[in-house]
Structures are given as structure tokens and as C-alpha cells.
Copies of this chain bind each other. A is one copy, B any other.
Amino acid sequence: MAKRNGSCVTQMHRARQGEITPEMRFVAERERAAPEFVRTEVARGRAIIPANINHIKHQLNPIVIGTHFDCKINANLGSSATTSCLKEELEKVDMAVKYHADTVMDLSTGDNLDDIRQAVIQHSHVPVGTVPIYGAMASLGDIREMTPQIFLDEVEKQAKQGVDYMTIHAGLLQKHVPMAANRLTGIVSRGGALLAQWMTAHKKENFLYTHFNELCDIFAHYDVAFSLGDGLRPGSLQDANDEAQFGELKVLGDLTLRAWARDVQVMIEGPGHVPMHLIRMNAELQQKWCHEAPFYTLGPLVTDIAPGYDHITSAIGGAMIGWAGASLLCYVTPAEHLSLPNAEDVRQGCIAHKIAAHAVDIARGRPGAQERDNAISKARFEFRWEDQFALSLDPETAKAKHDSTLSDESHKDSQYCSMCGPKFCSMNITKETVGADPSVHPMEKKLS
């Protein structure tokens, strides 16, 4: 292991020393915020800029994650033992970024993990996260063979490669494991299940908890942000908001303070499967117990009965929890619960969650959030079809759907579409009738 001599290069450290870093300046411009405001939010821990110093060298475009900034989305990528190919993984990265992913996680669990991770980091302009216990498992036959040192070495290696944030399930303690026995779906986090198995076999406390300070040292040296994992997130509506889940969340709040004491950035992972009426409580308790550290949720899915469409069940819950305070929505794809996502699943997952995140920005009253909505609606009212496509989240799909019934190029100037035909187009009739003319609409000034 490299000598680190207690060095700390994190954005939080520099923010607390009063420095406005180039990364803070960059994200401030993207968010139309003052750089000094970004600095104070990062110093306070209410926002993070996951930017490993070794990924910055590979032309990372930093982002800021926090409730006072635009809601972000993450795409989980990665191979598995049954389905794996480096080239396909890089295509998925491109697909994810093209369709608005703000971060990607490489969750590979198959072969060639180091090579895939290195390629993903060098290929990706957006922050890259990992769950290092997957890599640490690669050389082992079984989680029971894991030692703290094997894990720390893996973390150091990945940090050196340039991973921007890592999921660390340090809040899942021995006392929580029996709580999962009463659940309908037990432990559904892969990392959480592995750690529970390790603790049960060795009758010892979670080594991520006992070695948390060493992890902080590594993270401080490269500026890796903690994504404190929710190993006990509910995997079914029935298990939502139970004592196991909230017991772990409280520990994550304590760990947040310990990381912050070492100037290490933190976000908190959240559920999962949660019925709508229990969603807000998740955001409120997380904000309270975890001292307003950014909340990074997987959905939540608002029903269990829609495999094949869980990008939608998750977008519904994501929109609600984002409005309630979550800062980063991890996407779920149509493949969830069924198979490893392919490139098309990645696209579907990204768009669904970008919709949710954008709806959150509008509901939160983020500056300028509705400008694009107004622009596309104006184009719609004026039958500027090409502009409607260009302003949409997925121009190719919008155009293809339009052209499926009216493919002739002349219809790009049509004052109607195949939904209503020329005689029943409401927008057309409106213009003839009430003379609404958005070219002189007050909105005009706001848009220009």
C-alpha cells in the first residue's frame, strides 16, 4: 500500500479552508449558482463533488450533488458472471451519458474487473462509482475468506485508478442481521448480503465499520466520496421502513459525522421498494439522521408487480422522493429483477429517471428548470416539428414515432399529426379562434 502521510485533498477539505476549486467553479456554472455558494454547501457536507484526483486527470467533467442543486441520475452498468463483454460495457457508458446519466456505476462482477474498471474510468467524462466488495471478492472463492486487508487493498487500488465514489456498507452491523430474518425478501443488497454472511460466519462486527477510519484515510488521499450503502434496503413493499432499514440508517448518520471529521465527502444510499405513502418519511428521516448529507436512492419502486416495467415503478417513486429531498436517483431499468440490462434497457432506464429528476427540478422551483418545457410547448403550438424533436429528451425516438404514421418530409410542416388529423387539431383551431399567438406571448421574453 502506498504511503499517504495523512494527506487530504478532498473538495470538502479545500472548501473548508476557503478555497474555491476549479471543480467548484465548473459546477457552479453548470448550475447557474455562485461559486461561493457551492463552496459553502460542500464545506457543510450538504453537497458533494465526487471527483477523484486521478479521474480529473482523465478529463472528468465534475458535477455537484445536493438538495440545493439540480436533481441528478445515476446509471448502474457492469458485467456479470453470466453476461460480460468489455466493448458492450463501454457502449453502455456512451448510451447512459447520451441519455442524460450524470454518473455511472461499474457494478461488474464477472471477469477482468480491473481492466473493465480502468476502461470505464478513462472512457467516462462523468463520475464513476463502484462497489469495491465485488472486486475484493474476485480472487476469493467465498466471502468468508475476506479479510480487512484484502478489502483495503482493493479500495486503494480502485481509488488509485480514479473511482470517484464507492459504496461502502459500513452501517450494517451484527445486531441488524437477525432483523432481516423476519422479512419477506430478506437482504436484497448484494453487498449487504455478503457482509451479513461474513459477520455470521466469523461472529465479528462488520469490518467496514471497524476499519472505517482506514477507509477515510484512503478516501481523503484521492478524494473518493463515500456512498454509504443501505445493505438493508427493503426489497419488497412489505419490508419498507422496518426496524432493520432504519436501524442501519441511524448508523449511517453516525458514520457521516466521522467521515466529515476527516473532511471526506459523503452521500447516503436509500431504498428500494416503498409504497407511495411511506416515501416521504424516508427522505425526512435521512435528512434528519444524516445531517442533510445528499440522499442517493434506488427508485424507490412503488409496487412489486411490474417486472419488465420497473423503470416506471421506479420513476414514480424517484420523482416523489426527489421532490421530498433526494439529490441523486439511481435508475432502474426494465430488466430489473429479470436479467442484466442491455444497451436498450440502459436507454429506457435513463430516460425514465431523467423525466423524474426533471420533474423534481420543476417542483422544487430550480432556476430555469421549466424553460425547456416552455420552449418545446411553444414549438408544439407552432407545429415546428423539428424543434419539438430537438428539444425532447430523446429526439430520435420522438421523430421515429411521429414518422411512423406521417413519414413524408412534407409533414414536417403539417399543422397537425396523425393523432387528430387536420380537421380535429385543437391547436390549429385555437389559433383560428382565439388568436393565441405565442410569437407575441409574454413567455417570449423569458425564453430569449
Contacts and interface: CB of A to CB of B under 8 A. Distances in A.
Interface string A407-438: 00000000001111111111111111111101
Number of copies: 2
Nearest to A365: B277
Interface of A: 80-83, 109-110, 134, 137, 143, 177-178, 180-190, 192-194, 196-197, 200, 235-238, 273, 275-277, 302-309, 311-313, 315-316, 319-320, 323, 334-340, 342, 351-352, 355-356, 358-360, 362-363, 365, 370, 372-374, 376-378, 380-381, 388-389, 391-394, 397-398, 400-402, 404-406, 417-436, 438, 441-443
Most buried by B among A186, A200, A276: A186
B370 A180 contact: no
A421 B177 contact: no
15 contacts: A81-B421, A83-B405, A143-B429, A177-B433, A190-B424, A190-B426, A193-B427, A194-B424, A194-B429, A200-B434, A273-B377, A302-B363, A334-B401, A338-B417, A339-B401
A140 B394 CA distance: 39
Contact of A424 (B134, B320, B404): B134
Contact of A236 (B339, B352, B373): B373
B309 A443 contact: no
Nearest to A392: B307
B378 A184 contact: yes
A421 B339 contact: no
A192 B238 contact: no
Contact of A306 (B82, B337, B393): B393
A435 B306 CA distance: 27
A185 B235 CA distance: 42
Nearest to A185: B381
Nearest to A423: B81
> A181, A358, A426: which has the most chain B beta carbons within 10 Å?
A426
A276 B397 CA distance: 25
B421 A110 contact: yes
A418 B81 CA distance: 8
A180 B426 contact: no
Nearest to A238: B374
B359 A302 contact: yes
B334 A426 contact: no
A274 B438 CA distance: 19
Given A335-B401, A378-B184, A355 B313 contact: yes
Contacts of A430: 180, 186-188, 193, 196
B393 A309 contact: yes
A308 B373 contact: no
B313 A380 contact: no
Contacts of A441: 182, 184
A339 B277 contact: no
